[in-house]
Amino acid sequence: MAKTIFRVSQVNAYVKNIFENDYALRDITVRGEVSNCKYHSSGHVYFTMKDEGGSLGCVMFAGKRARGLRFRLEDGQKIIASGSVMVYERTGQYQLYASEIVADGEGDLYKKFEETKKRLEEMGMFAQEYKKPIPRFVSRVGIVTARTGAAIQDIINISGRRNPYVSLYLYPATVQGADAAPTIVKGIEVLDKMALDVIIVGRGGGSAEDLWAFNEESVAKAIFDAETPIISAVGHETDTTIADYAADLRAPTPSAAAELAVFDYKTFLNELDSIRGRLNRLMKSSSSESRLALSTFKARLEKKSPSYVLSNRRAQLSGMENSLSAEIRLALQKEKNRFSLLCAGLSAVSPLGRMSAGYGFLAGEDGKAIKSVDDVSGGDDLRIYIKDGKITASVLNIEKAPEKQI
């Protein structure tokens, strides 16, 4: 009887189907030590779990990391991984597709973490209304962390780069182990009495056990009770501790804490130059507007001032005076002209005028003019007024002119 011959892909598909239908392999939890750990640029994490008797290939996809991995996976860590074991058809290899990874022994710690978090949250220690603002411009920064290690070096380097004029005050605390929490609390209390601008509390990354001191209630209470604003900077970005919830601001790493606490001096100078430029422009604009307003007010004031009114009245009076003078001169000239005409008319009928032409004026002794021969009698004395004198004469003869016939 001839044997059935299968293609490789068929075998792999068959084995994959067996794995997928195995209830135990679909939801399995494995304990082991991490080796060959690699973080891919895609966000996936590839690693191997091993113990003294064997090894198992594992992968955690990027989509699972946000919820299933709260610390950075590194070689040598003891972990417990949950997920499903399946076959990758292309290579025929089976591996653990992890959906959750915790440090070995973290189960009890995680339970304690959640209990502490819930209790302190109910007490109001995480409430936003109690968070103090971090000053934008600081000159004195306190640091509670280990004397040696990457955390303090990162903070020093970044602070020096951003602003070399900021003073750093380190309280060298123990940040790992059973004695860590009391020294962290002491460091917060000591620095809080120094009237600093801000305090950074934290350490570098590690396992849940390594970071546990920052989950202690005493540390959270010290942070909450401090008068100085506190930035927590514990572990890596994916690590979260009780101290992060109690702090006024959480930084994902110690380096980030230094970035948040220390303002960039060069940026500050650039901002000052920009503000100075805006102020100069505003001052020039305001000065120009003020000068214009002042000129307007001055003009208005001058119009209402006594000197201006007096000057204006003087000008008006001067104009009226000139106008009146002109009118008077014109009226006087008119009167002069009219007088001249009257004089000319009077001169035409004046006896003196006639006298000048050889005529005389005849009057009686009483000075009355003699207009008719009936006004005199023989022997009367008469006075004859001529141009250059007076003549006295007596009437010798009177002849009356004959009457005209009509």
Is 130 found in the same domain as 247? yes
DSSP code of residue 29 = E
Is 86 found in the same domain as 115? no
Q: Which of 49, 84, 48, 88 is nearest to 64 (CA)?
A: 84
Q: Which of 123, 114, 74 is nearest to 241 (CA)?
A: 114
Is 166 found in the same domain as 93? no
| Whole-angstrom distance, CA of residue 79 vs CA of residue 355 | 162
Decide if 147 is inside a domain.
yes
| Whole-angstrom distance, CA of residue 172 vs CA of residue 266 | 30
Decide if 195 is inside a domain.
yes
Rounded (10°) CA dihedral 333, 336, 337, 339? 160
Instruction: Choose one of 58, 85, 104: the last residue of a domain.
Output: 104
Q: Is 262 helix (H, G, I), strand (E, B) or coil?
A: coil
Decide if 125 is inside a domain.
yes
| Whole-angstrom distance, CA of residue 149 vs CA of residue 153 | 7
Decide if 44 is inside a domain.
yes
What pLDDT does residue 405 have? 58
Q: pLDDT under 50 in the chain at which residues?
A: none
The answer to whether the CB of 95 falls within 8 A of the CB of 58 is yes
What pLDDT does residue 49 have? 94
Decide if 237 is inside a domain.
yes
Is 199 found in the same domain as 72? no
Decide if 290 is inside a domain.
no
What does the DSSP assignment read for 76-95?
Answer: T-EEEEEEEEEEETTTTEEE
Q: What is the CATH number of the domain that holds 170?
A: 3.40.50.10550
Is 114 found in the same domain as 100? no
Phi and psi at residue 360, to the nearest 5°: -130, 175
Is 167 found in the same domain as 114? yes
Decide if 134 is inside a domain.
yes
Instruction: Choose one of 37, 70, 104: the last residue of a domain.
Output: 104
Domain that holds residue 375: 352-394
Is 89 found in the same domain as 125? no
SS3 content of the chain, % helix, strand, coil (to 5): 50, 20, 30
Is 215 found in the same domain as 248? yes
| Partners of residue 389 on adjacent β-strands | 386
Number of domains into which the chain is organized: 3
| Whole-angstrom distance, CA of residue 231 vs CA of residue 94 | 45
Q: What residues contact 338, with CB distance under 8 A and at least 6 apart?
A: none
Q: What's the sign of the alpha-carbon dihedral 376, 381, 383, 384?
A: positive
Cβ–Cβ contacts within 10 Å for residue 233, how many? Answer: 31
Is 180 found in the same domain as 91? no
| Whole-angstrom distance, CA of residue 111 vs CA of residue 65 | 20
Instruction: Choose one of 104, 129, 159: the last residue of a domain.
Output: 104
